[in-house]
Chain A
Amino acid sequence: MELVEAIILSVLAASTPLLIAATGELVTERAGVLNLGVEGMMIVGAACGFGGAWLSGSTIIGALCGIIAGALLSLIFAMMTLGLAVNQVASGLALTILGIGLSGLIGAGFVGERITPAPHLHIPGLTDIPLIGRILFGEDPFIYLSLALIVAVWWFLYRTRPGLVLRACGDNHVSAHALGYPVLRIRTFAVMFGGACAGLAGAYLPLAYTPFFIPGMTAGRGWIALALVVFASWLPGRLVIGAYLFGAVTILQLHAQGAGVGIPSQFMSALPYLATVIVLVLISRARTGGSTAPAALGTVFVPDR
C-alpha cells in the first residue's frame, strides 16, 4: 500500500506542471494563437522561480517570479505575432531558443544551490486518514491550485461573456473584428495568460518537484504540454485526464528503471516522448476529416482601419 500511495503521490506531482502549462496554452489557442514557446517560457519560469525563492526564502515569491517571467516572455511573443504579424510557428521556436539561453544565464548563479521545497498541506484529522488522507489533503498547494485553475478556465470559457468573446476570436477573427471586438488586445491577454501559466509550471519544478535548479530541467515538458492540448481536443476536462495519464507514464517508467527490469534506462526514459508521438498519431487519426481545433488557430490577422 505504501508503494501505491507513493506512486499516486508522485504521479500527481509529475502531472501538475504539465497540467498548468497545458491549461495556459489551451486558453491561448482557444483565442486563435499558437504559441510554441511553452518550453522556453517554462525553463525561464524555472530559473526565475528558483532564483526568487532562493533569494527571498519564500516559495510564494518564487512562484510569482516564475509567473511574471513567463508572462513577460509571452508578451514579446505577442508583440511579434500580433503586433507585427509574424509567423506564429517561427516566433514560437524563437521564443524557445531565447528562453533556453536566458534560463542558462539567469540560473548560472544558482546551480548547485538548494532550497526548502514547498510545504505540503496538513489538515489535522483529514490528512491523517489512512490511504486517502495524504493523497486528498496532504499535497503541495500547487496541485490543488492546478485543479482550481482548470475548473476556473472551464467556467470562464463556457459560462462567461468574455469567455465567449475569446472563443469567438479563435473561431473567426474577421467576424469578431467586424462586430467591434478588439481581437488583438483579447489575444494579447490570452497569450499572456498562457505565458504566466507556463512560467508557473516551470517554477513548480524547482519549487516543489526537485529542490534545485539544473539547466534544461524542463526536459521537453513544454512540448508535451502542447501535445496535451491537441490530445484534449481543446476541451478543459480532457486536459486533466491527459495530464495525469502522461504523469503516470513518466512515473511508471521511473519506477521500472528503479526496479531494474533489465531494459536499458535510456529506453525507459524515451517512453514519455514516444508515448507523445503515438498519442498524437492516434488522436489525429481518430479525428480524420473533422478537426476540433479553433478555426482561426495560428493564422495572422491584420485589421484594416
Chain B
Amino acid sequence: MQLVLEKRAERSNTIALVSPLIAIGLTIVTMSILFVILGKNPISALIVYFIDPLTDAYSLQEIAVKASPLVMIAIGLSLCYLANAWNIGAEGQFLIGAVAGSWLAVKTQGTDAGFWVLPAMLLLGAVAGALYALIPAICKVRFGASEILTSLMLVYVADLLLDYLVRGPWRDPAGFNFPTTAEFDPVATVPILVEGGRLHLGAIITLLIVAAAAVLLGRTIKGFEIRVVGAAPRAARFGGFNANQLILLTFAVSGALAGLAGIIEVAGPVGHLQPGISPGYGFTAIIVAFLGRLNPIGILIAGLFLALTFIGGEQAQIAMKIPLDVTKVFQGILLFYVLACDSLILYRFRLVFASRQVSSGTG
C-alpha cells in the first residue's frame, strides 16, 4: 500500500478554508494521546486547555494581550514568507525593538519629559527592529548568504545584548541586584484600555495592522508584487518586479512590526526591561503565520487560538501539573499538521494498493 499524490488542476478553495480546522482537530487527537501517556485525563486536560480560558473575563483579556504581539509579528512574517524570504529571526527583532525603545524610557526616567515619550519609544522600537532585520536581508541580497541562518544567529546575539544591558548599564540600582531596569514612568507606558484590566492600546494597533495588511495584499499592486515574487520568481522578473528590493522591503516591514511588538510588550504588560520578556513570541508567530494561511484575517484568528494555548498551558500547569513544555509540543505538532493539510490544497491523496508483486526491484 502506498500513498500517492496527484496534482489538482486547480487549487481547492474549500480545502484552503477547512485545512486549518482539520489540522487543529488532528492536533487535539494527538494531544489527547500525549495526555494519556503523561497519565492525565485527556478530557479534563483539554477542557482546562481550550474551554476554561474562554469562561472568565480575566483570561479573555489575557488572550488578547498575548495574541497582540503574536499577530503583529505574524503579519510581518507572512509578507516575508509570501515573497519567499525566510525571516526566522523575528524573536531577535522583537528583543532589539524592546531594547531600543527601553533606552528612551531609561534615559527619561525620573525627568519631566512629556507625553511624547511613548510615541517616540514605539517609533524607536519599530525602526530598530527594521534595521536589525535588514542585516540578514542585506547579507542575502548583496552577498547571497542564507537569510534563514543569519536571521536566526542574530536572535542569539540580541538575546545576549539584552542580557548585558539589564545586568550592566541599565540595571535598576534599587532592584536588589535582579537583572532588570526600573519600572517605566507612566509617560513611557502603554495605556490600558479597560480600567483595572490588562488589555492595552497594543490590541488596537494590532487590529489596525491586520486591516492594513488585508488591503495591501488583496487590493494593491505592491501586494500582488509580493505574492507573485514568492509564487513564481521568474515570472515576477518578467513582470518587471525586483525580487531583491522586495526581500529588503518585507524584511524591513516584518522587523519593524516585530520591534514594535517588542517595545509594546515591554512598555505594556511587562512594564520594565528584563531577560525573558518573550515566551518565544517570535517563533510561535511562525506557526501563527502558517496556521492563518499567510492571510491577515486568518492570522488574527490563528493568533487568538495560539494565545489561548499559552493561557491554557499555564492553567494546566497550575491545575493539573502538566509541564509547560506540553504547550510547545502542541505548537510543533500543530504546525506539522497545518503544513500537511495544506498539501491537500494542491494535491489529491490517493492510496494505491500494490496489486502486483514483481521480483526484481527498481534500481
Contacts and interface: CB of A to CB of B under 8 A. Distances in A.
Please determine if A and B sit in direct contact within the complex, based on CB atoms under 8 angstroms apart: yes
Interface stretch (A135-143, A195-203, A219-227): A219-227
A83 interface: yes
B43 interface: no
Tell me the interface secondary structure of chain A in the complex.
Answer: helix
A140 to B, nearest CB: 27
Interface in B334-363: 335-336, 339-340, 342-343, 346-347, 352, 362-363
Contacts of B61: none
Contacts of B149: 223, 226-227, 230, 276-277, 280
A101 B161 contact: no
B3 interface: yes
Given A86-B340, A90-B339, A266 B332 contact: no
A270 B362 contact: no
A85 B160 contact: no
A89 B136 CA distance: 17
A305 B5 CA distance: 10
Given A90-B290, A94-B335, A277 B86 contact: no
A270 B363 contact: no
Contacts of B333: 98
Interface stretch (A102-110, A145-153, A244-252): A102-110
Contacts, number: 156
Interface of A: 36, 40, 76, 80, 83-87, 89-91, 93-95, 97-102, 104-105, 108, 165, 179-182, 215, 219-220, 223, 226-227, 230, 264, 266-267, 269-270, 273-274, 276-277, 280-281, 283-285, 287-288, 291, 302, 305
Most chain A beta-carbon neighbours within 10 Å: one of B163, B339, B342:
B339
Contacts of B152: 220, 223
Interface stretch (B50-58, B219-227, B319-327): B319-327
B139 A181 contact: no
B146 A280 contact: yes
Contacts of B153: 220, 223, 227, 273-274, 276-277
A281 B363 contact: no
Contact of B336 (A98, A227, A269, A276): A98
B156 A273 contact: yes
Nearest to A81: B339
B189 to A, nearest CB: 27
A80 B347 contact: no
26 contacts: A84-B5, A84-B339, A84-B343, A85-B5, A86-B339, A89-B148, A90-B290, A93-B88, A94-B332, A94-B335, A95-B332, A98-B336, A101-B332, A180-B363, A181-B362, A182-B362, A215-B325, A219-B156, A220-B152, A267-B164, A269-B160, A277-B139, A277-B150, A284-B146, A302-B5, A305-B4
B347 A85 contact: yes
Given A220-B153, A266-B163, A302-B5, A94 B339 contact: yes
